[in-house]
Amino acid sequence: MCIFCKIINHEIPSSVIYEDDDVLAILDISQVTRGHTLVMPKKHVRNVLEADEETVQKCILTARKLAAQIVTNLHASGVNILTNCGESAGQSVDHLHFHIIPRYDSSDAIQITFGETEQDLESVRRDILG
Ligand code: 5GP
Ligand code: ZN
């Protein structure tokens, strides 16, 4: 059983922020910023590409609601809501989860930068459309 399924089954303790029949939200053990939260479906599914639409919907709507609550109550100035899908994207736990990472200032322990690569946009577009 995966580590998040064990948390969902209360075999491993966690700090629960929200729970209903389908979704669990807990504080991330690593707290990249204060209030860093994980929102996950109770049923095991590997990632956002493998999940059914209803599961994704429930998780993302819960994440949005909690993000608003976290930003307000922890006096954050912004928030990243993201999901890593696959090892190359940084996914380390193979149970779908959305990170809520409240942002405070540029000294946050998280840095998200968009570098640039040279690409022929027309050939990229053609390849995506297949
Ligand atoms: P990923 O890298 O898969 O997107 O994110 C996995 C997250 O799960 C990491 O941020 C990591 O800190 C968190 N995590 C891993 N194990 C545990 C745990 O046992 N409890 C909690 N609360 N978080 C965990
Ligand atoms: Zn699982």
Residues comprising the chain, all counted? 130
pLDDT at 28: 98
Q: Which numbered atom of ligand 1 lies nearest the CA of 14? A: 22
pLDDT at 23: 98
Residue 18 CB partners (closer than 8 Å, separation 6+): 24, 25, 39, 62, 66
Q: Is 88 a pocket residue for ligand 1 (Cβ < 6 Å)?
A: no
CA distance 101 to 76: 10
Which helix H or strand E contains 66, and what residues bound it? helix 53-73
pLDDT tens across the length of the chain (130 residues):
999 999 999 999 999 999 999 999 999 999 999 999 999 999 999 999 999 999 999 999 999 999 999 999 999 999 999 999 999 999 999 999 999 999 999 889 998 899 999 999 999 999 999 9
- Give the pair of three-digit tokens for residue 86: 């696959």
Find the ligand nearest to 16 CA.
1
Q: Is 101 a pocket residue for ligand 1 (Cβ < 6 Å)?
A: no
CATH 3.30.428.10, applies to 3-129: yes
Determine the distance separating the centroid of ligand 1 and the alpha carbon of 28, expressed in angstroms: 6
Question: pTM for the complete prediction?
Answer: 0.97
Helix (H, G, I), strand (E, B) or coil at 68: helix
Q: Is 30 a pocket residue for ligand 1 (Cβ < 6 Å)?
A: yes
Question: Domain residue spans in the chain?
Answer: 3-129
Find the ligand nearest to 5 CA.
2
Q: Is 1 a pocket residue for ligand 1 (Cβ < 6 Å)?
A: no
